[in-house]
Amino acid sequence: MKVALLGNMNNGNFALLRYLKDKGINATLLLWKNDGKLSHSHFKLQNDTWNYKYWSKFIKRTNLTNATSSIIFNPLKSKNYVSKKYFLNLHSKYDVFISSGIAPAIFEKFNKKLDIFYPYAMGVEWIDTFEEKISRYFSVKKIIFNKIKRLQIKGIQNAKYVINPELGKTEETLKKIKVQSIKLYIPIIYNENVRNYPLNEINKIKKFNFRIISHARHLWKPSKLLTNKENKYNSKNNDWLIYSFKNFLNETKSNSCLILFKYGPDHTESYKLCKKLKIQKNVIWLPILARKKIISLIKICNLGIGEFYLQKNTFWGGTAIEILSQGKPTFQTFKFDKKIFREIFKKTPPPFVNIRSKSELLKKIKKFYDDEKYKKSIGLKSKKWFLNEYRDKLILDWIKLIKLAYKQKKI
């Protein structure tokens, strides 16, 4: 059985590749032509492992592009257009294909069924995402997106299995197109030994006694192109953290720092807010870094901040898992009933420090600052959950599904 993992958004399939290889599965990571380039350059494979030389043996770059130009001919990007001959030749070399992105539309165009699809975008890519909503205001883009959207929907409907753990906006989108999904996490981080590395800001960070890190994308300013409801559910509410940190400093007079990254459409607005609140001396801004380097930073911090999405049953992102993997208390909005979570996923929910408001965020930061024993106990629970529920049990569920897809092909 030859398994192809097509595409590597968020380094998800690279993580899955390594877990599958550890279990003896004959898997290959097939990169999109544009994987790890331009706006996705921080998702380069080298950024996610200290052992790239070893893993590169199981990786190939394809001529398929995760973009509309792979399906609709664009004279300015003619080299991106995929021929039927090329696609069918690639398809014939593997037994099971696992992919996300624009893959369903490509498979549908060439009358092939994608074996396993999982969306990486909230709302499902090319169907109901922020970018898709913006396109409706531009006539040419709207025509292109509508054509891709039709192919994408049909391709997802025809996929053998669709995986989706996000029960908020993404699940709503799938239900609208009458697709039933399997509730399974996406293993987006591989637990590799963490190494220290020389970063100019490390010494500056270590001068602070209490360190908070948030490497989430900055997305909190309302967009005029979205409705109030869309803005509410699209926001990560990064400003909560900045205001809470300001109040935390005022109330504790502590030698603390907040580490933020120049990442996301609103990072300049976050920078302006820090300046307005006069907390620049305690905020360390870093450029977008490789995941392996971010994880080594998480290791020297006291707690980590994930995302504060307000929609019910919204799943966590990579930032939260990265913090949990290092055994750190992880602040995250988690509007999920624990009993329902266990019934749906057959697993224990992660030990998030649940944040439902700006005031609650401040209160809990102070609690972890004041209570070292409590902070340590939550950190240990975080590490244990990652190793048992995320690393060990999760990959076995994926292997079962892959084998089912393979059996269907043989029938």
- Residue 403 domain-assigned? no
Tokens of 324: 């949990």
Strands (E), 178-255: 210-213
User: CA-CA distance, 167 to 181, in Å (whole number)?
Assistant: 10
Q: What is the residue-wise DSSP string for 293-311?
A: HHHHHHTTSSEEE-----S
Query: Does the residue 63 lie in any domain?
Result: yes
Residues 250 and 382 in one domain: yes
95 and 227 belong to one structural domain: no
Compute CA distances 399 → 19, 60, 161, 284, 297, whole Å.
Answer: 10, 22, 13, 42, 32
Using 70 as the pLDDT threshold, list the residues of the chain that sit under it: 39-40, 42, 129-141, 197-198, 410-411
Given this model, what pLDDT does residue 197 score?
66
Same domain, 293 and 237: yes
Q: Which residues of 72-85 are buried (b: 16+ CB within 10 A; e: fewer)?
A: beeeeeeebbbeee
The two beta strands, 330-332 and 96-99, are unpaired
- Same domain for 140 and 222, yes or no, is no
Domain count, the chain: 2
End-to-end CA distance of the chain: 14
Q: Do 44 and 167 fall into the same domain?
A: yes
Residue with tokens 């329902």: 340
- 236 and 362 share a domain? yes
- Residues 24 and 110 placed together within one structural domain of the fold: yes
Rg (CA), the chain: 22
Is residue 130 within 8 Å of residue 176, measured between CB atoms? no
Q: Is 344 part of a structural domain of the chain?
A: yes
Regarding whether 176 and 133 lie in a shared domain, the answer is yes
159 shares a domain with 120: yes
Is 398 a member of any domain? no
Residue 265 lies in a domain: yes
Q: pLDDT (tens digit, 9 = 90+) per residue, 143-188? A: 778 889 999 999 999 999 999 998 888 999 999 999 999 999 888 8
Q: What is the CATH number of the domain that holds 65?
A: 3.40.50
- Do both 170 and 215 map to the same domain? no
* Residue 35 and residue 81 in one domain: yes
Whichever domain contains 210, its CATH number is 3.40.50.2000
The 3-state DSSP class for residue 314 equals coil
Q: State which of 188, 212, 237 marks the end of a domain.
A: 188
- In this structure, is residue 406 part of a structural domain? no
pLDDT in tens, 227-240: 898 888 889 999 99
Final residue of a structural domain among 188, 210, 227: 188
Are 98 and 166 found together in one domain? Answer: yes
Distance CA 231, CA 253 (A): 35
Domain boundary among the residues 136, 160, 188 is at 188
Residue 279 lies in a domain: yes
Domain span at 138: 3-188
Strand blocks (E) in 187-317: 210-213, 256-261, 283-286, 303-305
Query: Is residue 397 domain-resident?
Result: no
Torsion of CA 99, 100, 101, 105, to 10 degrees: 70
